[in-house]
């Protein structure tokens, strides 16, 4: 089973709160095991973990990491690093290569990133060479490099589970079941 | 050629500024022709149009539309409507059907949407039945229903163009060419 972790750089607690939350939830939904946050924003980390707890699975967020240390450790452990940036080689040209990597760190910045990242990355990858969104970039990269459809991922142990429906909302709430629930 | 338009509902000018901008830029990058904004936020519309002008193509933003009128007009014109929501049927199960539609409106809300949307939509579609992001949902839907790889879209007439590179940034700035430039 492939291991994928997201490293989020340059997050500014107020300004980037919602975008980084979307990056984290998207990473989880598309099969990453966790997110390393290279900024101190404990509240944001807790919010994502709260969603993960309610909806299942083992997604983690590590707050306030040192990005250089994390990239070095990952590479020393044999992992590879893919940096998403609108300037890189286009995803369709490298998705098959990246998909073969067993331990993948995906680095995604807000605004500008240190130039060193371009040097440390095994791949600098653009999801199309047009401006759009780091959330979209993470989603489409994880979708295209997957060997099993990430939209069919099951998340075990969650309190809530959706039953797909053509109209309306069907949600199973496991908290209401069993003795002792209140 | 397929026509795709995004209808953005429930946008709150301050709170959703960045997410809606990312929705718009993602829609453009993945081949939508324009975005209808069912809120009044002229500044946001201008910001997206400014990016579109610099980077090419004909993407448009229509500010402050009435969502019900737009959906009705679209359907009267023979178009179909796909509403993205985490409660719908899962994208892998309907992507082939949706991909055959020639005139497609994709409706994407912030937070809650009026229940009528579920009734008016031809498809209520979840991009996985897990919480993540409307930006990711738009990206992966447009990516999966496309018949030609949207990441290879060319955007003509832009002032800026990126040359994909393994390291660093290569940008052609057309504004610096020709007589009379300063």
Q: pLDDT tens for residues A47-70?
A: 999 999 999 999 999 999 999 999
pLDDT at B110: 86
Minimal C-alpha gap between A147 and chain B (Å): 14
Contact A91 B170 (CB under 8 A): no
**Cβ–Cβ < 8 Å for B88, A165:** yes
* Confidence at A159, pLDDT banded by 50, 70, 90: very high
Q: What is the DSSP secondary-structure string of B91-143? A: HHHHHHHHHT-SEEEEEEESS---HHHHHH-SEEEESSSS---HHHHHHHHHH
For chain A, percent of residues with pLDDT exceeding 90: 91
pLDDT at residue B40 greater than cutoff 60: yes
pLDDT at A180: 45
* Confidence at A1, pLDDT banded by 50, 70, 90: low
Select from B95, B48, B101 the least CA-distant residue to B79. Answer: B101
Instruction: Show residues of chain A in contact with B124, CB under 8 Å.
Output: 165-167
Rounded-to-integer distance, Cα B9 and Cα B22, Å: 14
Instruction: Show residues of chain B in contact with A130, CB under 8 Å.
Output: 25, 28-29, 55, 153, 155, 162
Contact B168 A129 (CB under 8 A): no
Mean pLDDT confidence for A100-124: 95
In total, the C-beta contacts within 8 angstroms joining chain A to chain B are 173
Mean pLDDT confidence for A142-159: 95
Rounded-to-integer distance, Cα B89 and Cα A142, Å: 21
Does the model's ipTM exceed the 0.85 cut? yes
Q: Is A132 on the interface with B (CB under 8 A)?
A: yes
pLDDT at residue A177 greater than cutoff 60: no
């Amino acid at each position: 089973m492939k291991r994928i972790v997201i490293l989020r750089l340059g997050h500014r607690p107020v300004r980037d709160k919602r975008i980084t939350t979307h990056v984290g939830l998207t990473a989880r939904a598309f099969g990453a095991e966790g997110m390393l946050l290279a900024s101190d924003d404990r509240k944001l980390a807790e919010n994502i973990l709260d969603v993960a707890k309610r909806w299942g699975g083992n997604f983690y967020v590590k707050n306030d990491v040192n990005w250089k240390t994390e990239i070095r450790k990952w590479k020393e452990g044999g992992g590879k690093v893919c940096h998403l940036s609108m300037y890189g080689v286009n995803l369709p040209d490298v998705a098959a290569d990246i998909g073969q990597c067993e331990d993948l760190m995906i680095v995604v910045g807000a605004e500008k990133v240190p130039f060193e990242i371009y040097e440390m990355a095994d791949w600098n990858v653009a999801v199309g060479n047009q401006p759009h969104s780091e959330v979209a970039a993470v989603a489409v990269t994880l979708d295209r490099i997957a060997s099993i459809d990430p939209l069919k991922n099951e998340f075990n142990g969650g309190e809530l589970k959706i039953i797909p429906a053509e109209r309306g909302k069907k949600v199973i709430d496991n908290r209401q079941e069993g003795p002792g629930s209140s």
